[in-house]
Amino acid sequence: MDKRLKKLRLITELALNSEKSKLKELAMVQDEKTAQIKALDDSAAQRAAALGQAGGADVALLAGADAKWARWRQQQKAALNIQLAGLRAKQEEQRQITKRAFGKNQVVERLLEETAAQNRGK
């Protein structure tokens, strides 16, 4: 029984580590998307500052490029926010899967401890 429990512990540890890795990967992707949104916001702030220094108008603004760029930026930001929402949903689902894997691992650990205690008592 002890050998089978040790093998089961190895399996549950591997499963737990795999699920933790998936959760970490989702968090990294979320961080990337958040950074992309921040970059879009920062670029808008930089453009506003440049316009302020230029006296409020320049060739790009007068040609309508700023308005097109602002629309593009908003579309990109909206798309990124939709992706973030999807990632957050996946993260929550993955958290639940990881919690179950953790619980299974803990049960096997307790069984091993109980088995070891019983073997010491013999």
Q: Which two tokens stand for residue 117?
A: 């205690």
What CA dihedral angle connects 67, 69, 75 and 76, to 10 degrees?
-160
CB of 84 closer than 8 Å to CB of 33: yes
pLDDT in tens, 77-98: 999 999 999 999 999 999 999 9
**pLDDT below 50 — which residues of the chain?**
none
Q: Which two tokens stand for residue 105?
A: 């691992």
Domain ranges of the chain: 1-16+34-116
